[in-house]
Amino acid sequence: MTSMRDPLVGHALEGRYEITDRLARGGMATVYRAHDNRLGRIVAVKVMHEGLGDDQDFGRKFDREARAAARLSHPNVVSVFDQGRDHGRPYIVMEYVPGSTLRSVIVRDAPLEATRALDIIEPVLAALAAAHEAGLVHRDVKPENVLISDRGQLKVADFGLAKAISGQSATATQGLLIGTVSYLPPELVTIGKADTRSDVYSAGVVLWEMLTGRKPHTGDTPIQVAYAHVHNDIPRVSEFLPGSERALFPDYLDALVAGAVQRDPARRPVDAAHFLSQVRLARTALAEGVTSSPALVAKFSTEVDTELVDHDPDHVETHRFGDPDADEQTSNPHRSGPSASTGGATAVRTDTGTGTTPDEAAPVAAGARTAPSPDEPDVEFTPTDLRPVPARVYRRRRWMLLVVLLLVLGLVGGLGGWWLLAGRWTETPALSGLTRDDAVSAATAAHLEVTFDEAYSETVAAGRVIDTDPAAGERVTRGTSMEVALSLGPERFEVPTLTGLTTEEATEALREVNLVVGEQTEVWHEEVAAGVVLEASLEPGSQAKRGDAVDLTVSKGREPIAVPEVAGKSNADAKAAIEKAGLTVEVKEAHSASVAKGVVISQDPAEGTLHRGDTVTITVSKGPVMVEVPNVKSMGVQAATKVLQDKGFKVTTKPVEENYLGLGYVSYTNPGIGTAAPQGSTITLFLV
């Protein structure tokens, strides 16, 4: 059906990329599978719809963005190989990734478990981080652009494409919103511009959808959905979970997603790398069984004390010891820890809403009671613990001891936290395409071990890495062993000799070398028995891929020939008919009183089938047996009759026409005496 409806199928773009079939069609372009006739490989080609390439300025931007995307090299990014124009229509040639998309995973399995959702979004953010570092903004992050290969590797597609399209003339794109509307950042609707934080928003919506199994904003028309992104906050993930799951859903994961999908770009992570670091922290906490972490909530949240900031940006909290109502008067419901209080001194805390965590808050004066760290015991100091010391030197020494103690505790806690959250972790390197020795060196440099396995590959040269498990860019603990698949090159099998084998024997011989029987053609053969292979489509000893089909020509045996009916035909006509049918003629002769001379009396066999060269025997008439009429003149009628009957004749009598006397003696015969007459014929006696 595809080849009938799509005119590009079967067409070679610029004579090089031969379109084989259509994979998908979107609002701006159609993706095809194609064969690169120059390099002999399968590629994916995205061809822009007619009209998008008419503007010259768009053409320049399209080429520029395609070249920029082609320079982006990352294991989680679909590689861009080439770009060009065919009859004025721009196209991009990309890496072909057989498999499915994240959309199919969401449709089939969502809502996903938190760990699985983070495992999926991490390589997506790794790809976006590499693009952001290279100065590229994707602008169209959505599940359809996240490809999942048959080997389980995630790759992000369409880098640079949306930006080029967005630069087209207003006439050609009037009313067009770049990016799928369900994942559209608000600023792309309001001001038409996007930066790295826009990709963070779209990736956050994708993560939100994986965790909830639904889209955050819906509407009857795309403009309604876009309006919702601009004017409505995306609810927290936990609000859409059942009561039992909501209670167990980690608070820091709620904060992680909420921070990424803030309507105000300034409140989101600045780029994908920042968002990626947050995701990895959350995944580590999940792996260690942490169900609640105020520190991570504060770190991920961009709404700390937002109500306080909105009402009074310059608000300063002040607490003094001796004021029994201080805590109640200045308490802030948005704090995650107890309010600060001082003994004879003032502790100042300003909430600016800039994402500062409680651990990064301004220092408080001596004796202040601060919110406890989630990793430290909840210790409170009271005014009685801060009695004044009369000796200045002792007071100075105490401060120095306290500072040293805090530094040591901070160093130990920092090193411990660093080891738990970062130090013991490393990132798996990209080994695809490397030799065995280079792969070992790269893995060793990343503090990883490596084990090798071998596999055949049609695209990767022998001795080089095909793929790894874990995949490149994954976060693992040091000392983890990476399983590396080394290429054995293309897998080929030698075609066995099939001629002379029965079809069953040929099938088994092909199965033993991982090949199969293809189309079978049967022909008649006078020398080879039925069911025996006469010819194969591939020569013995030639190389074939696993599963390739070999066509066979098989004998049907000798061809049966219907025996022609020739009785009653002349000798010459009978011989011609039999020989034309491919049979041999044997001729016999016999007298016949009923069949004329030279005419076939009978044949053997008279009917049925024979094979080419078999013999048909025909009996040809020599005519009747001729006997000389004996002399019976002057004999009595009885004596003459006996003589003639003895010669094989039949006898009849008649009186002579003249001078008949009634004596009963033979006057003459007809046929006449001495003439030859057919045996069995009738002789007439004329009597006197």
Q: Distance between CA atoms of 623 and 594, rounded to whole angstroms? A: 8
Q: Which helix (H) or strand (E) covers residue 149, if one does?
A: strand 146-149
* Residue 140 annotated among the catalytic residues of the structure: yes
Angstrom distance (rounded) from CA 502 to CA 555: 9
From 21, 36, 119, 140, active-site residue: 140
- Report the 10 Å Cβ neighbour count for 10: 11
Q: What DSSP character marks residue 159?
A: T
Phi/psi for 647 (5° steps) reads -85, 0
Give how far Cα 164 sits from Cα of 136, 137, 139, 153, 375, Å. Answer: 11, 11, 10, 27, 48
For residue 43, which phi and psi values (nearest 5 degrees)? -135, 165
Residue 572: how many other CB atoms lie within 10 Å: 9
Both tokens assigned to 186: 């608000």
Query: Exposed, middle or buried, 392 (CB in 10 Å: 0-12/13-18/19+)?
Result: exposed
For residues 421 and 286, what is the distance between their CA atoms, to the nearest angstrom?
12
Residue 83 pairs in a beta bridge with: 92
Which of 637, 647, 653, 650 is CA-nearest to residue 682?
650
Residue 52 CA, distance from chain mean position: 29
Supply angle C-alpha 445, 428, 450, rounded to 5: 65
Strand-pair partners of 465:
486
Taking the CA atoms of residue 538, residue 544, residue 546 and residue 552 in that order, the dihedral angle to the nearest 10 degrees is: 0
Per residue in 644-679, is it b (16+ CB within 10 Å) or e — as a string?
Answer: beeeebebeeeeeeeeeeeeebbbebebeeeeebbe
Are the C-beta atoms of residues 32 and 23 closer than 8 Å to each other? yes
Catalytically active residues, by annotation: 140
